Amino acid sequence: MDYFHLPADQDNIGQISSLGLAYLGDGVYELMVRTWLCLHGKATNKGLHRAALNYVSAPAQARRAQKILPVLTQEEQEVFRRGRNSHTATIPKGASVAEYHTATALEALFGWLYLRGETVRLNELFTMMMEE
């Protein structure tokens, strides 16, 4: 099985909770950030983890998510909305409730796109988010 090119059945994706999609999307987003950091020479090995935190923290994700909201399709907006409205047990230090919910929404969207095999769309959105 190729877990990097895994377009899942739509019925299976529909049965995954928003928090489940966010859990997967967190890993997808983190891998994309780590790859971007390495390819852009943004940090040495010692500083990669610290540099990644500037992109993967809830406040950072929430800020970057704002860049893509205007270009999301209706279906993507719905996944984002469901992710944002999912109930989480705890909010990490350093993040507001709104930031954490927006970051969760972004992760749910990335998880959903990944499972659908929409890597081109993932790359488009990620590129928009990383533009300064």
Judged against a pLDDT cut of 60, whether residue 99 lies above it is answered with yes
Residues catalogued as catalytic: 26
Q: Output 53 or 44, whichever has higher pLDDT.
A: 53
> What mean pLDDT is predicted for residues 79-95?
87
Q: State pTM to two decimals.
A: 0.90
Cβ pair 69, 52 in contact under 8 A: no
Question: Domains, the chain, ranges and CATH?
Answer: 17-130 (1.10.1520.10)
pLDDT at site 131 = 87
> What mean pLDDT is predicted for residues 108-117?
94
pLDDT at site 61 = 95
Q: Output 54 or 24, whichever has higher pLDDT.
A: 24
pLDDT at site 7 = 65
pLDDT at site 5 = 67
Band of the pLDDT at 112, cuts 50, 70, 90?
very high
First-to-final CA distance of the chain: 37
35 by Cβ neighbours in 10 Å (0-12 / 13-18 / 19+) ranks as exposed
